Structure 1
Amino acid sequence: MTTVDTMRPVHTMDRLLLGDNQFFGINHMSEERARAQAVRFQDTQSIVDVIEIALQEGVRTLMCTTHERIAEVCDRVRDDPGRFRGFRAYPCMPYAHKYANAVTEHGMLGALRSFLPDDGALDAVLRGGRSVLRKDVEGLIPLLIDAEMKMFHGIQTPVVFLQNVVVDLLLGLGFDDAFAAFDRHVRTRYGAEPGFITMNLPLLLDRLDALGISNPVVCANINAMGFRMSGGVSGYEQALAERTFRPVAMSVFASGAIAPRPALEWIHEHARVESIVFGASSRSSIASTVAITRELWGPVDAQDS
Structure 2
Amino acid sequence: MEKIDKIVFGDNQFFGINHRSQDKAEELLKRFSDIKNIFEVYDNAFDCGINAVMLNSNDRAIEICDYFREHKDKYGNLAWYPSIPYPHKYADMVNELGIFPAINEVLFKGNSTMGVLGMMGKGAMAVFTKDAMKMMEMLIDVEFKIYRGLNVKVLFLLNPITDLILGYGIKEVFEHYCEYIRKKYKVIPGFITLNLPYLKAKLEEWGIEDVVICSAINKAGFNMFPSKEEYERVIAANDPTKYQLMAMSPLASGSISPKESFDYVNGLNLQSVVFGASSKGHIQSSMDLMNLKC
TM-score w.r.t. the length of structure 2 is 0.92
CA deviation vs aligned residue, 1:116-138 (integer Å, no higher than 9, x gap): 35444134235335536765432
| C-alpha distance in structure 1 between counterparts of 2:263 and 2:24, whole Å | 25
Give the Cα–Cα distance (whole angstroms) in 2 for the partners of residues 106 and 210 of structure 1: 40
Alignment of 1:259-270 (within 5 A): 259-269=257-267
Q: State the match for 1:280 in structure 2.
A: 277
CA distance in 2, matches of 1:29, 1:134: 46
Q: 1:114 and 2:105 equivalent?
A: yes
- Which has the larger displacement, 205-214 or 195-204? 205-214
2:54 aligns with 63
User: Partner letter of residue 222 of structure 2?
Assistant: F
Matched residue, 1:50: 41
Residue 219 (structure 1) aligns with? 214
2:255 partner letter: A
User: Could you say if the C-alpha distance between residues 43 and 238 of structure 1 is closer, same or farther in structure 2, counting changes exceeding 3 Å?
Assistant: same
CA contact (8 A) 1:226 1:232 kept: yes
The CA distance in 2 between the partners of 1:134 and 1:174, in whole Å, is 22
Distance 1:218 1:134 in 2: 32
AA partner of residue 65 (structure 1): N
Question: Which residue is 1:124 aligned to?
Answer: 119
Pick one of 230, 253, 270 that aligns with 1:235: 230
Q: For residue 161 of structure 1, what is the aligned residue in structure 2?
A: 156
2:175 corresponds to 1:206: no
Task: List alignment gaps of at least 5 residues for structure 2.
Answer: none
How far the C-alpha of 1:14 sits from its partner, in A, is 1.5
Distance 1:140 1:236, change over 3 A: same
Q: Which amino acid aligns with 1:24?
A: F
Aligned counterparts of 1:284 and 1:174: Cα–Cα separation in 2: 44
Post-superposition CA distance 1:144-196 (Å, at most 9, x none): 11100111111111110001000101111222211111111110011000000
SS at match of 1:161: strand
Name 2:83's counterpart in structure 1.
92
Residue pair 2:76, 2:151 contacting (<8 A) in 1 also: no
Task: Give the whole-Å Cα distance in 1 for the aligned partners of 2:93 and 2:22.
Answer: 26
Please give the TM-score of this superposition, normalised by the length of structure 1.
0.88
2:72 aligned residue (70, 77, 81): 81
CA distance in 2, matches of 1:132, 1:105: 23
Does 1:16 find its partner at 2:7? yes
Which structure has the higher relative contact order (CA within 8 Å, separation 6+)?
1
CA distance in 2 between partners of 1:85 and 1:139 (Å): 32
Distance 2:127 2:234 in 1: 36
User: 5+ unaligned residues in a row in structure 1: which ranges?
Assistant: 1-9, 299-304
Task: Provide the C-alpha distance between the structure 2 equivalents of 1:246 and 1:285, rounded to a whole number of angstroms.
Answer: 26
In 2, the alpha carbon distance for the partners of 1:187 and 1:210 equals 21
Residue 254 of structure 2 corresponds to which residue in structure 1?
A: 256
CA–CA distance in structure 2, aligned partners of residues 77 and 11 of structure 1: 24
Q: Within 1, Cα distance between the matches of 2:232 and 2:147? A: 35
1:297 & 1:60 partners in 2: Cα distance?
A: 16
**Alpha-carbon separation, structure 2, partners of 1:261 and 1:40:** 26
Measured on the aligned residues, the alpha-carbon RMSD in Å equals 1.9
Partner of 2:143: 148
- SS for the counterpart of 1:277 is strand
Q: How many residues align?
A: 287
Q: Which amino acid aligns with 1:275?
A: S
On the 8 A contact 1:112/1:125 being kept in 2, the answer is no
Tell me the SS of whatever aligns to 1:82.
helix
Q: Determine the structure 1 residue equivalent to 2:26.
A: 35
CA shift, 1:208, in A, is 1.1
